[in-house]
Amino acid sequence: MRIVLHKPKECIGCDSCTEIAGTYFMLDEDGCAKLISQILWNDPFNAAEVFTEDVELVREAGRACPVQIINFKDE
């Protein structure tokens, strides 16, 4: 299983992750990105499962993030 880790408190609201991987990220009412299907919250990280076929898409979103707050971990 692949897990994406995201630090929502450090988001600057650039919208790149939602543009690239909108099935995993959305903007909240404050204009900051958050994970749509969050399975874990452990400050400062939120986590969500990523389907195998979407790993590269979510990696691309992570590379596009100007503050580099999107990472992966294997479970």
Query: What CA–CA distance (Å, rounded) separates 51 from 2?
Result: 7
What does the block give as tokens for 60? 């691309």
pLDDT tens-place string over residues 5-39? 999 999 999 999 999 999 999 999 999 999 999 88
Cβ–Cβ < 8 Å for 34, 43: no
Name the β-bridge partners of 46: 6, 41
Radius of gyration (C-alpha) of the chain in whole angstroms = 11
Give the structural domain span for 17.
2-74
The structural domain count of the chain equals 1
- Compute the C-alpha angle 37/62/11, nearest 5°: 70
pLDDT of amino acid 74: 67
- Give the CATH number, domain containing residue 27: 3.30.70.20
